[in-house]
Homo-oligomer: A and B are copies of this chain.
């Protein structure tokens, strides 16, 4: 008799000299959620949260700083009092009627296109991080060199489906930063593009670069979705200038706004999950309405990033039970209004440790059971988004790839079950040499990126490297061997003269 632990040790020893070549090449490029969407609130409660959000917009209103946006709301019938906008439920209904339910998110390479729709599972790396951190170079403010590296890391792994602003290239002046980030994305990647809404100059120039790189006419550009932006409201109930302008400009150009209130329950939002979701919902509906007023039929994603704070310090928490409850409730609200939607995982941990892995993995499961169309911050986020961690990124890729594997169901045919293989092996024997095994072993199982499955002795002899230490080797190898995708050199070639001319002309300022 032996325990499970001892039996595991026995198995390890059995085959330790065999090192077969594995030939698996899974396709993680387009995924759909492996499990059905779950619920956290009753249908009545969802309706009550939705109705509360409508009351918030009608009775309490949103503060909208941009006069152009207030004028658009007014044109649709909203009541305006100074910078407050009171949005009737008829305006919201009209917006939800005209907003498309799904669209094709185009990429420089068609192989990277995504169906932006309920049921799709699209992963974005951790984004919005002012700092980066790795074990070799330490924690530092993000630079354009770091931004380029993060684009390369995201490009390398198919399970990252969209680019984003992984880190902020703080060594590039703000009025030129959109040139640098669009260039880096086009030069090193062929995945769907991201552009910050930092005012009309940067947005229009960014669109121009993309049209030029991809050889699109204005019509071709506007007809499809080639670039996305995230619109964060300043919760509670405040829409600032660049965000409002971004909603208008992206909508008019037919490009995707991802409207994402950032509602931390107990801080910028009510302390209850249902209350934080009501505020999130109100603010998201206000943003969605503005896009549809600007251009009916513009692609706009519902979004939410509601989590809670730790009440002892006011610090945001991620991957918590409350976060998961609000993810799943957010999914119910998205389905209630029939739009695809964005959610996020995340991590508050300051280091790439067990806390970080736990937070991000819990958030990933919550986001999937919530059927987030787009799941942001899935790889590399640390410190609640203040740092993009390279070692964390690599370990999160493991998590995402494992999750992606769940999208493929195993087969239960007679041949797969393999009665004959069971018959072939005597009691107490092993299956290593059966035909059933030999036919399948090269492709049977997921092969890890960074997990070390050696036994303790072998692992110790090899330096007892923990997951973060091993991840350093992995990202360095990815960057060292990186090759830009096909067509990238040509695409970037087309925009270099535009960037040069734009730079000479002073770039474009960020909007206050």
Residues in B neighbouring A25, C-beta threshold 8 A: none
Q: Are B270 and A422 in contact (CB under 8 A)?
A: yes
Q: Are A275 and B19 in contact (CB under 8 A)?
A: no
Q: How far is the CA of A2 from the CA of B239 in the complex (A)?
A: 12
A272, A402, A429 pick with most chain B CB within 10 angstroms? A272
Q: How far is the CA of A221 from the CA of B426 in the complex (A)?
A: 40
In the complex with contacts A1-B240, A405-B321, A8-B429 CB distance below 8 A: no
| Interface assignment of A387: CB less than 8 Å from any CB of chain B | yes
- Flag the segment in A150-158, A209-217, A294-302, A460-468 that touches B: A460-468
Partner of A398, one of B242, B262, B358, B418: B358
Q: How far is the CA of A94 from the CA of B302 in the complex (A)?
A: 55
Residues in B neighbouring A198, C-beta threshold 8 A: 1
- Flag the segment in A67-75, A181-189, A432-440, A492-500 that touches B: A432-440
Q: How far is the CA of A419 from the CA of B282 in the complex (A)?
A: 11
Report the copy number of this chain in the oligomer: 2
- Flag the segment in A100-108, A248-256, A446-454, A483-491 that touches B: A446-454
Partner of A429, one of B236, B278, B468: B236
**Residues 61-100 of A contacting B (Cβ, < 8 Å):** 62-63, 84
| Interface assignment of A316: CB less than 8 Å from any CB of chain B | yes
**Residues 232-262 of A contacting B (Cβ, < 8 Å):** 232, 234, 236-238, 240-243, 260, 262
Q: Are B63 and A456 in contact (CB under 8 A)?
A: no
Q: Are A452 and B349 in contact (CB under 8 A)?
A: yes
Q: How far is the CA of A127 from the CA of B6 in the complex (A)?
A: 11
Interface membership of chain A positions 308-330, coded 1 if the CB is closer than 8 angstroms to chain B and 0 otherwise = 11111111110111101100010
| Interface assignment of A509: CB less than 8 Å from any CB of chain B | no
Q: Which residue of B lies closest to A243 (CB)?
A: B1
In the complex with contacts A412-B48, A452-B355, A314-B5 CB distance below 8 A: no
Q: Are B419 and A278 in contact (CB under 8 A)?
A: yes
A19, A266, A422, A430 pick with most chain B CB within 10 angstroms? A422
In the complex with contacts A5-B130, A430-B267, A45-B412 CB distance below 8 A: yes
Q: Which residue of B lies closest to A46 (CB)?
A: B412
Q: Are A418 and B451 in contact (CB under 8 A)?
A: no
Q: Are B321 and A446 in contact (CB under 8 A)?
A: yes
Interface membership of chain A positions 457-487, coded 1 if the CB is closer than 8 angstroms to chain B and 0 otherwise = 0011000101110010000000000000000
Residues in B neighbouring A168, C-beta threshold 8 A: 3
Residues in B neighbouring A265, C-beta threshold 8 A: 444-445
| Interface assignment of A386: CB less than 8 Å from any CB of chain B | yes
Q: Which residue of B lies closest to A320 (CB)?
A: B446
| Interface assignment of A140: CB less than 8 Å from any CB of chain B | no
Q: How far is the CA of A236 from the CA of B22 in the complex (A)?
A: 25
Q: Are A242 and B445 in contact (CB under 8 A)?
A: no
Could you show 16 A-B contacts with beta carbons less than 8 Å apart?
A: A1-B232, A3-B130, A5-B128, A237-B427, A238-B428, A268-B430, A269-B431, A308-B445, A310-B447, A311-B442, A349-B467, A350-B452, A353-B357, A355-B452, A358-B395, A386-B455
| Interface assignment of A416: CB less than 8 Å from any CB of chain B | yes
Q: Are A275 and B417 in contact (CB under 8 A)?
A: yes
Q: Are A4 and B387 in contact (CB under 8 A)?
A: no
Residues in B neighbouring A331, C-beta threshold 8 A: none
Q: Are A1 and B197 in contact (CB under 8 A)?
A: yes
Q: How far is the CB of A393 from chain B (nearest CB, A)?
A: 11
Residues in B neighbouring A240, C-beta threshold 8 A: 1
Q: Which residue of B lies closest to A410 (CB)?
A: B273
